[in-house]
């Protein structure tokens, strides 16, 4: 079987909804605009969609990540100028779900029946706090793994085979313990790129993170928040972190130079490493992430209320995020699908990259994404993690003792409440 | 009839000449000013429909926030570190290009403008290579000299220096070009007779050029101050563009006032009211600095 | 300072000015992995990167839009700034000082904040997604007015104006025959700076220009920096391509723009 039953079912549904059911209102053309911040891989799909929807014209606007979201916020705030369909990255999504009034409720537009198509946590991320409004349908997810350098692991006397490596760290405590072994063997090298991603991964694996289900900030009261902090601080004081700042050219260079041995690795990070460290081909490999589950990044497609063609726009995003289309996107861009029916598809499970010693990354990411438990994300989710990340940064850079840094994190978090 | 027209001309025409600016400013400048002043008195999130009036509470909070004072301190520090060398260099470069024996003046001028033609993205990529902690050229040089590496971004002083270098690189030629335009109006005979009297190039710069182009110097000083206090892209991108860039490092060691404003207005809950209050306080700070600089530069005189 | 030393200093400065530019080209001619090591020589990938830029961005259209916006704004800023500068620097009228101060004050409002109210206005005027939204608010700016005021106050001898007035010249004739010739060096510089500033403006055009056919160069280029993964070589290829027309135009015009001005300057 090339496709699962579910895909077939959805495909039939789509044909029913779009092919036959739609009645074009005369010759009137409707232009749908869609604004995004990167390559969602939709361009060839538009043409395909227009074949079956002769009255639809699609116009795509693309800008960079921060500019796109700032633009969206300006347009939402002023009530005009937004596209019919706007991509929203997870970093911004929770501030919109906290105040969902500027978006169409997709549950009213027919999204109710789609819930089982998507990963439960991906679905839940786009729900408002009262669960009554759904503002977006999920596109990609950043299923998570741990990328590591086999050459450095060999030098440190650690196993290099990915199965054995995965067995080194079923938990984060064991990951840190492995790091300490590594550091003893290779004192001049670092075990991880920076500490922030490890911290975030631990907290997001828990059933409750920095917010409870009622949008109340629980940084101070949820024990996992502090436990994860203490473990991360332990890793920092053992000298495991290379204290690099993500996205700086310095960080990019470090991949190729091999100054650190492991990095928390969402699906899209593998393309990044591959593009930026060509000389290191074959030296990187991919193991399971400690804790077994995780996702970083990923987006949704949302419909601002100011858009005039909600019905048509909804049909389009429903189609774009359906498993069939997500598979095409995955094949052309590597964006990892959010529809679990694909996780048993040979195209995904068989996906590997020579750069990473042919590690079966499709399988690794699928398992990791499937294992993620839904966790409620509060309105200032990203800002809270930024404040904590900065606190860890201050410890890394020797500017504060852990206690002082934690006290400042709590004070910063209080201001965000 | 003719004299009457003449009178009307002298009375009215000045207003006509400045009218285009003020008409456009009245429409596109005044409204944003009034709007932000109004918004600054509210708890005004960009994503909510109701905004509650809070009076001057945003301002009170702002003045109580140590991060605001930190940002103010960083901004002033970067301003001084970048503006002073920048203006001195610009003046000297303009003077050199303006020397009578220089050939290919047009090409030199284009050269002056080059750094400003390059986009900020390019600037940041390049300077990150220079100021990189592990692989940067400057640290490689320091290490070769036995001085050890500097984590440029992590330190307060070192990050201010690195950011200032970017600013200086980008804007020195720009200012030099403005100085150069002003120097065209200084009569060449003054230099010729000074040269005959045996005055050196440096003496000519101090005793002829600087006094002659004083209004332009005042202009450049004030404009550099205004723009310097609003510095944004360089520190943001120096910090990697992400959250670390917006807070200006983990310890906010290089967060400037505009970054602080941006952090509140477009990041944390999109608190536009608070950001507007910040903008008005910034406005006050800039006015103070501009007045201060104006008074200082009024005293520019040549060497007696 | 003697000639040799002067040339040496200038050459040194030129090196600093040109190097990052050259370096942009170097990065643009490699693929992104070149960032891992510092490379100083161009690589083989430039044409491939150019092809990718053109495949992503409707560049010719964007160039035409940018050229239009920048030209209109440059002409308008230079003309109106010179007019206003003349009035502020050399004419006496009531309210001159407070008006000039208010011009300067308008420069002090942080641009990030003006965007939202300005956008509300543009929507009112129904200019959203038209080039007018980019052009009209920038037809004059405080920088230009202040610059011209300062320049003319030193470069335009009052005696020259007096002489003109003696001959019965009205202000507008003085402007054409006395002020404009004297202002040429500053006008050229202001024109170049305005053109550059408009060409490189990014934040505001991105907010108001939506459709692909209305994009300016910088808005188009921002597509190259989109996505999780920063492809610096592609971004810098775009930058190089966006800057080349500027260099060509300025290079071609520099003789006329600046070279001829040296004779045009008024002697006091």
pLDDT at residue C37 in the model: 64
Q: What would the 3-class secondary structure string for A153-186 be? A: HHHCCCCCCHHHHHHHCCCHHHHHHHHHHHHHHC
pLDDT at residue B38 in the model: 92
For chain A, what percent of residues have pLDDT higher than 70?
94
pLDDT single digits (tens) C3-45:
888 888 888 888 888 887 888 888 888 876 666 666 778 878 8
The pTM assigned to this predicted structure is: 0.87
Given an 8 Å threshold on Cβ–Cβ distance, is B20 in contact with C10? no
Whether the pLDDT of residue A241 is over 90: the answer is: yes
Q: Is the dihedral of CA B55, B56, B58, B64 positive or negative?
A: negative
Given an 8 Å threshold on Cβ–Cβ distance, is A253 in contact with B266? no
Q: Across residues A40-54, what is the average pLDDT?
A: 91
- Alpha-carbon Rg for chain A in angstroms: 22
pLDDT at residue A108 in the model: 94
Residue C12 forms contact with B (CB below 8 Å) = no
pLDDT single digits (tens) A124-166:
999 998 899 999 999 999 888 999 999 999 999 999 999 999 9
pLDDT at residue A12 in the model: 42
pLDDT single digits (tens) C65-98:
999 999 999 999 999 999 999 999 988 888 898 9
pLDDT single digits (tens) A244-293:
888 777 788 888 888 999 999 988 888 888 877 778 888 999 999 999 88
Q: Alpha-carbon distance C133 to C137, whole Å?
A: 7
List of chain C residues whose C-beta atoms are within 8 Å of the C-beta of residue B182: 151, 154-155, 185-186
Q: Alpha-carbon distance C35 to C25, whole Å?
A: 13
Whether the pLDDT of residue C262 is over 70: the answer is: no
Residue B3: closest C-alpha in chain C: C168
Count interface pairs A-B at CB distance under 8 A: 94
Confidence of residue A9 (pLDDT cuts 50, 70, 90): very low
B278 neighbors B75 (Cβ within 8 angstroms): no
Angle at C2 between CA B300 and CA C4, to 5 degrees: 125
Q: Which of A298-307, A332-341, B92-101 has the highest mean pLDDT?
A: A298-307
Mean pLDDT is lowest, of A63-72, A396-405, B87-96, B150-159, for A63-72
Is the residue at C248 inside a domain?
yes
Mean residue pLDDT across chain B: 86
Whether the pLDDT of residue A116 is over 90: the answer is: yes
Q: Across residues A44-55, what is the average pLDDT?
A: 93
pLDDT single digits (tens) A189-200:
999 999 988 999
Closest partner CB to B117 (pick from C136, C186, C247): C247
Both structure tokens of B259? 């970054």
Whether the pLDDT of residue C241 is over 90: the answer is: no
> Smallest Cα–Cα separation from A390: which of A374, A372, A410, A370?
A410
Q: Alpha-carbon distance A253 to C37, whole Å?
A: 7
- So what's the ipTM on this one? 0.83
Residue B201 forms contact with A (CB below 8 Å) = no
Confidence of residue B1 (pLDDT cuts 50, 70, 90): low
Which domains are seen in chain A, by residue range? 5-141+297-349 (3.40.190.10), 143-294+363-416 (3.40.190.10)
Q: Alpha-carbon distance A270 to A286, whole Å?
A: 9
pLDDT at residue C227 in the model: 59
Is the residue at B253 inside a domain?
yes
Q: A204: part of which helix (H) or strand (E)?
A: helix A196-205
Which ranges of chain C does DSSP label H, i.e. alpha helix? Answer: 3-28, 46-56, 59-90, 96-105, 111-124, 132-135, 142-155, 158-166, 171-174, 180-200, 203-208, 217-221, 232-254, 261-264
Residue A63: closest C-alpha in chain C: C223
> Smallest Cα–Cα separation from C77: which of C183, C191, C161, C238?
C191
Q: Alpha-carbon distance B200 to A275, whole Å?
A: 56
pLDDT at residue A17 in the model: 41
Domain that includes residue C191, residue range = 60-217+236-264
Chains that touch C (3 or more CB pairs under 8 A): A, B
Whether the pLDDT of residue A76 is over 70: the answer is: yes
Whether the pLDDT of residue A14 is over 50: the answer is: no
Both structure tokens of C182? 């004297």
Q: Is C111 exposed, middle or buried (0-12, 13-18, 19+ CB in 10 A)?
A: middle
A39 vs C49 pLDDT, higher one = C49
Whether the pLDDT of residue C260 is over 70: the answer is: no
pLDDT at residue C58 in the model: 80
Interface of B with A in 258-287 (CB under 8 A): 266-270, 272
Is the residue at B102 inside a domain?
yes
Q: Are strands A260-266 and A190-192 parallel, antiparallel or unpaired?
A: parallel
| Exposure string over A229-244, b if 16+ CB within 10 A, otherwise e | bebbbbbbebebbbbb
Q: Provide the domain count of chain B.
A: 1
pLDDT at residue A33 in the model: 94
Whether the pLDDT of residue B300 is over 50: the answer is: yes
Domain that includes residue B290, residue range = 56-114+160-190+209-298
Is the residue at B252 inside a domain?
yes
CATH code, domain carrying B92: 1.10.3720.10
List of chain B residues whose C-beta atoms are within 8 Å of the C-beta of residue A396: 250
Whether the pLDDT of residue A11 is over 50: the answer is: no
B134 neighbors B151 (Cβ within 8 angstroms): no
Is the residue at B255 inside a domain?
yes
Confidence of residue B291 (pLDDT cuts 50, 70, 90): confident
Q: Across residues A207-228, what is the average pLDDT?
A: 92
A84 neighbors A296 (Cβ within 8 angstroms): no
Whether the pLDDT of residue C182 is over 90: the answer is: no
CATH code, domain carrying C80: 1.10.3720.10
Is the residue at B178 inside a domain?
yes
Tell me the nearest-neighbour CA distance from A89 into chain B, angstroms: 14
HSE-CB for C151 with a 13 A CA cutoff: 36
Q: Alpha-carbon distance B207 to A204, whole Å?
A: 68
Given an 8 Å threshold on Cβ–Cβ distance, is C37 in contact with A253? yes
pLDDT at residue A22 in the model: 43
Q: Alpha-carbon distance C4 to B286, whole Å?
A: 42
List of chain B residues whose C-beta atoms are within 8 Å of the C-beta of residue A79: none
Residue A80 forms contact with C (CB below 8 Å) = yes
Both structure tokens of A190? 């670092």
Closest partner CB to B133 (pick from A246, A250, A416): A250
| Exposure string over A346-369, b if 16+ CB within 10 A, otherwise e | eebeebbbebbbebbbbebbbbbb
Count interface pairs B-C at CB distance under 8 A: 264
List of chain A residues whose C-beta atoms are within 8 Å of the C-beta of residue B49: 101
Given an 8 Å threshold on Cβ–Cβ distance, is B106 in contact with C258? yes
Q: Are strands A56-62 and A30-36 parallel, antiparallel or unpaired?
A: parallel
Residue B8: closest C-alpha in chain C: C170
| Exposure string over C40-79, b if 16+ CB within 10 A, otherwise e | eeeeebbeebbebbeebbebebbbebbbebbebbbebbbb
Is the residue at B136 inside a domain?
no
Whether the pLDDT of residue B267 is over 80: the answer is: no
Q: Is the dihedral of CA C158, C164, C168, C170 positive or negative?
A: negative
B165 neighbors B86 (Cβ within 8 angstroms): no
Tell me the nearest-neighbour CA distance from C213 into chain B, angstroms: 23
Whether the pLDDT of residue C266 is over 60: the answer is: no
Please report the beta strands in A280-346, taking only residues with DSSP state E, as ranges in sequence order: 284-287, 295-302, 336-337
Is the residue at B148 inside a domain?
no
Is the residue at B154 inside a domain?
no
Confidence of residue A95 (pLDDT cuts 50, 70, 90): confident
Q: Provide the domain count of chain C.
A: 1
Q: What is the DSSP string of B100-140?
A: TT-S-HHHHHHHHHHHHHS-HHHHHHHHHHHH-SSS-HHHH
Both structure tokens of A339? 């529809």
């Amino acid at each position: 079987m090339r496709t699962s039953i579910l895909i077939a079912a959805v495909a039939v549904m789509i044909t029913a909804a779009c092919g036959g059911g739609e009645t074009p209102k005369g010759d009137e053309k409707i232009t749908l605009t869609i604004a995004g911040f990167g390559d969602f891989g939709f361009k060839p799909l538009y043409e395909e969609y227009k074949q079956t929807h002769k009255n639809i014209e699609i116009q795509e606007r693309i800008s960079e990540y921060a500019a796109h979201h700032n633009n969206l916020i300006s347009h939402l705030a002023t009530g005009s100028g937004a596209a019919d369909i706007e991509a929203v990255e997870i970093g911004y999504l929770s501030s919109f779900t906290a105040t969902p009034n500027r978006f169409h409720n997709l549950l009213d537009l027919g999204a109710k029946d789609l819930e089982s198509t998507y990963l439960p946590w991906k679905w839940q991320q786009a729900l408002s706090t009262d669960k009554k409004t759904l503002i977006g349908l999920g596109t990609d997810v950043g299923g998570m793994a741990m990328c590591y350098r086999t050459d450095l692991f060999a030098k440190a006397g650690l196993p290099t085979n990915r199965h054995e490596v995965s067995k080194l760290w079923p938990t984060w405590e064991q990951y840190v313990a492995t790091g300490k072994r590594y550091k003893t063997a290779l004192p001049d090298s670092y075990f991880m790129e920076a500490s922030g991603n490890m911290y975030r991964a631990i907290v997001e694996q828990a059933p409750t993170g920095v917010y409870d289900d009622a949008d109340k900030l629980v940084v101070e009261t949820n024990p996992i928040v502090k436990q994860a902090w203490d473990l991360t601080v332990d890793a920092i004081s053992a000298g495991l972190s290379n204290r690099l700042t993500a996205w700086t050219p310095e960080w990019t260079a470090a991949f190729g130079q091999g100054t650190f041995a492991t990095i928390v690795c969402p699906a899209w990070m593998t393309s990044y490493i591959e593009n930026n460290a060509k000389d290191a081909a074959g030296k990187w490999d991919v193991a399971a992430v400690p804790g077994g589950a995780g996702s970083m990044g990923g987006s949704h497609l949302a419909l601002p209320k100011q858009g005039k063609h909600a019905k048509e726009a909804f049909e389009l995003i429903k189609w774009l995020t359906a498993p069939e289309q997500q598979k095409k996107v995955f094949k052309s861009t590597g964006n990892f699908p959010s529809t679990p029916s694909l996780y048993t598809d040979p195209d995904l499970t068989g996906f590997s990259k020579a750069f990473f010693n042919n590690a079966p990354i499709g399988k690794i990411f699928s398992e990791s994404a499937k294992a993620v438990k839904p966790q409620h994300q509060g309105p200032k989710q990203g800002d809270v993690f930024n404040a904590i990340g900065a606190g860890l940064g201050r410890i890394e850079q020797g500017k504060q003792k852990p206690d002082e840094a934690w006290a400042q994190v709590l004070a910063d978090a209080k201001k965000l409440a | 009839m003719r004299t009457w027209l003449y009178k009307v001309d002298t009375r009215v025409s000045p207003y006509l000449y400045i009218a285009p600016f003020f008409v456009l400013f009245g429409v596109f400048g005044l409204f944003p000013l009034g709007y932000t002043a109004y918004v600054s008195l509210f708890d005004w999130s960009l994503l909510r429909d109701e905004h509650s009036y809070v009076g001057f509470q945003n301002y009170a909070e702002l003045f109580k926030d140590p991060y605001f004072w930190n940002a103010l301190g960083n901004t002033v520090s970067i301003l001084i570190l970048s503006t002073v060398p920048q203006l001195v260099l610009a003046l000297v470069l303009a003077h050199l290009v303006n020397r009578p024996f220089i050939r290919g003046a047009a090409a030199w001028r284009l050269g002056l403008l080059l750094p400003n033609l390059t986009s900020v993205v390019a600037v940041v990529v390049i300077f990150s290579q220079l100021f990189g902690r592990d692989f940067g050229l400057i640290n490689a040089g320091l290490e070769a000299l036995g001085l050890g590496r500097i984590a440029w971004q992590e330190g307060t002083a070192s990050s201010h220096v690195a950011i200032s270098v970017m600013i200086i690189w980008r804007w020195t030629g720009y200012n030099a070009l403005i100085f150069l335009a002003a120097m065209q109006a200084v009569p060449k005979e003054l230099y010729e007779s000074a040269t005959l009297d045996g005055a050196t190039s440096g003496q000519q710069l101090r005793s002829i050029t600087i006094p002659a182009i004083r209004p332009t110097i005042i202009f450049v000083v004030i404009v550099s101050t205004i723009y310097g206090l609003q510095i944004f892209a360089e520190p943001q991108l120096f910090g990697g563009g992400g959250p670390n860039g917006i807070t200006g490092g983990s310890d906010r060691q290089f967060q400037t006032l505009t970054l602080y404003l941006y952090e509140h207005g477009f990041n944390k809950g999109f608190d536009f009211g608070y950001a507007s209050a910040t903008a008005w306080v910034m406005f006050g700070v800039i006015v103070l600095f501009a007045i201060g600089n104006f008074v200082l530069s009024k005293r520019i005189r040549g060497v007696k | 300072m003697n000639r040799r030393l002067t040339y040496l200093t200038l050459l040194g400065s030129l090196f600093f000015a040109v190097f990052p530019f050259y370096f942009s080209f170097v990065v643009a001619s490699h693929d992104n992995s070149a960032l891992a090591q510092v490379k100083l020589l161009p690589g083989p990938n430039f044409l491939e990167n150019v092809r990718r830029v053109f495949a992503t961005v409707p560049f010719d259209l964007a160039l035409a839009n940018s050229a239009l916006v920048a030209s209109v704004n440059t002409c308008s800023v230079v003309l109106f700034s010179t007019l206003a500068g003349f009035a502020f620097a050399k004419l006496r009228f009531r309210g001159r000082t407070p008006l000039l101060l208010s011009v300067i004050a308008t420069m002090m409002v942080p641009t990030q904040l003006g965007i939202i109210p300005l956008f509300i206005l543009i929507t009112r005027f129904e200019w959203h997604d038209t080039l007018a939204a980019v052009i009209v608010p920038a037809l004059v700016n405080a920088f230009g007015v202040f610059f011209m005021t300062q320049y003319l106050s030193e470069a335009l001898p009052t005696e020259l104006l007096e002489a003109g007035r003696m001959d019965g010249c009205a202000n507008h004739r003085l402007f054409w025959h006395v002020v404009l010739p004297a202002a040429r060096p500053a006008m050229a510089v202001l024109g170049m700076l305005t053109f550059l500033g408009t060409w490189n403006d990014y934040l505001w055009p991105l907010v108001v220009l939506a459709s692909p056919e209305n994009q300016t160069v910088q808005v188009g280029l921002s597509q190259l920096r989109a996505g999780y993964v920063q492809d610096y070589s592609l971004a810098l290829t775009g930058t190089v391509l966006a800057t080349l027309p500027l260099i060509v135009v300025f290079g071609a015009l520099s003789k006329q723009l600046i070279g001829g001005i040296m004779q045009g300057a008024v002697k006091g």
